[in-house]
């Protein structure tokens, strides 16, 4: 994409991803609510049903996905105009994964090396508590590439993982007013 357009495109850092997902909010979701309100596992919600109307307006997750990804227009955008940041598919970030990255926060880009990448958000398979703005996990390369028929295994073949995708960031060029 960068070669075709002449602009610089890349995966977001973990910090950029979370900022974009939050849409300016400092709460678990960019909209009102708590994961316990939407989760069908609580005793109250088991008896009376969880009120999922609000979360379903903004997020594709196990409660409304019908077991598969959905088109972007199935949900409303966050305050930054972005759709499906916290659901539909979890998203790759450019950072290397470290379970204690926030405790060691020296550089917002995270560790300089590692074996697995950060993925953020949840997917169409995730419970409501797993699609919060702060949800994070790591890639699971060995498990996700188990059925890759290529020898040696490809670094891009995730045949056993249909719940992770990516979105790209286009870098702003201040020298030219945004155009590279």
Distance (Å, whole) CA 131 – CA 127: 7
Average pLDDT, the chain: 85
Q: What is the pTM of this model?
A: 0.84
**Residue with token string 């009376």:** 48
Average pLDDT over residues 140-152: 78
Chain segment 64-123, per-residue pLDDT in tens: 999 999 999 999 999 999 999 999 999 999 999 988 776 666 666 677 788 899 999 999
pLDDT value, residue 29: 93
Q: Which residue has the higher pLDDT, 51 or 119?
A: 119
CA 2 to chain centre: 22
Question: What does each C-alpha distance from 138 to 63, 89, 92, 94 come to in angstroms?
Answer: 23, 14, 9, 11
């Amino acid at each position: 994409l960068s070669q075709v357009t002449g602009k610089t495109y890349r995966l977001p850092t973990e910090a950029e991803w979370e900022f974009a997902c939050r849409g300016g909010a400092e709460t678990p979701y960019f909209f009102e609510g708590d994961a316990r309100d939407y989760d069908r596992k609580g005793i109250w919600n088991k008896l009376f049903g969880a009120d999922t109307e609000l979360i379903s307006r903004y997020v594709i997750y196990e409660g409304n996905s019908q077991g598969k990804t959905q088109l972007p227009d199935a949900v409303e955008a966050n305050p930054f105009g972005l759709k499906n940041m916290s659901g539909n598919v979890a998203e790759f970030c450019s950072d290397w994964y470290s379970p204690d990255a926030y405790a060691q926060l020296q550089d917002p880009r995270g560790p300089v090396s590692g074996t697995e990448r950060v993925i953020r958000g949840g997917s169409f398979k995730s419970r409501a508590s797993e699609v919060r703005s702060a949800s994070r996990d790591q890639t699971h390369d060995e498990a996700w590439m188990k059925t890759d028929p290529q020898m040696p295994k490809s670094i891009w073949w995730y045949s056993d993982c249909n719940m992770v995708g990516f979105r790209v960031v286009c870098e702003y060029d201040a020298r030219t007013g945004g155009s590279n």
